[in-house]
Amino acid sequence: MVVIHISTTAPVNPPSATPVLTHDELWAALVAKARHPEDFVPVIEKSRIIREDETGLTRGVLFKGDMGKEMGGEVEEVVRYVGRMKIDFSVPATGQFVSNIISHSATAAGPGDMFLTFTFEFPHPDVAEGSQEARTLEEKYRAMSRQVVPHTVDVARRLKGKGRLVV
């Protein structure tokens, strides 16, 4: 069995970014992503909230295409909000675990010091540690991670531009 661990960090407000996002706005976007993941994750066809309270929610997610076929229908995900700086997503049926983390630089102050990090844990019980299949999966997940983090920031920026981020 192998568990593939991937982590990617992207700056939220690089010098060319407009509009600039605040911590509260990025947090609002991450909560929106938890509540309506299809707006952020292209492979999600639709979702529904099963339960929700101030600490998070449980949602049902239906994936598109091959991923939907592989998952075999609706997947239940448990989402936990942690201190307006992190949202954890877990899939009890597979053991998959994802964190979306807002962080700030230790040296800088201002809008350019904010970062968004996604960490992923992908368990593969039928894949041998160190195998070519494990290396291929790791490359696939790393490439996906490099896309989804900046994409999430881009969607947050578009939501702000449309006045759809409630802080």
pLDDT recorded at residue 69: 67
Mean pLDDT of all residues in 123-140? 96
Within 4-131, where are the H helices? 23-35, 65-71
Q: pLDDT at position 151, please?
A: 97
- Count CB atoms within 10 A of the CB of residue 77: 22
pLDDT digits (tens, 9 = 90+) for 65-90: 877 667 778 999 999 999 999 999 99
Residue 108: pLDDT above 80?
no
Please give the single-letter amino acid code of residue 114.
Answer: M
Instruction: Output the CA–CA distances (angstroms, integers) from residue 119 to 5, 7, 109, 149, 161, in the order listed.
Output: 7, 4, 24, 10, 27
The residue that leads in pLDDT, 160 or 107, is 160
pLDDT of the residue at 104: 93
pLDDT of 7 above 80: yes
Q: Mean pLDDT of all residues in the chain?
A: 94
Q: What integer pLDDT is reported at residue 72 of this predicted model?
A: 77
Share of the chain above pLDDT 70, in %: 98
The string of pLDDT tens digits covering residues 45-69 is: 999 999 999 999 999 999 888 776 6
Residue 120: its pLDDT value, please? 98
Instruction: Say which residue, 43 or 100, is predicted with more confidence.
Output: 100
Residues 6+ apart with CB under 8 A from 10: 115, 116, 117, 149, 150, 153
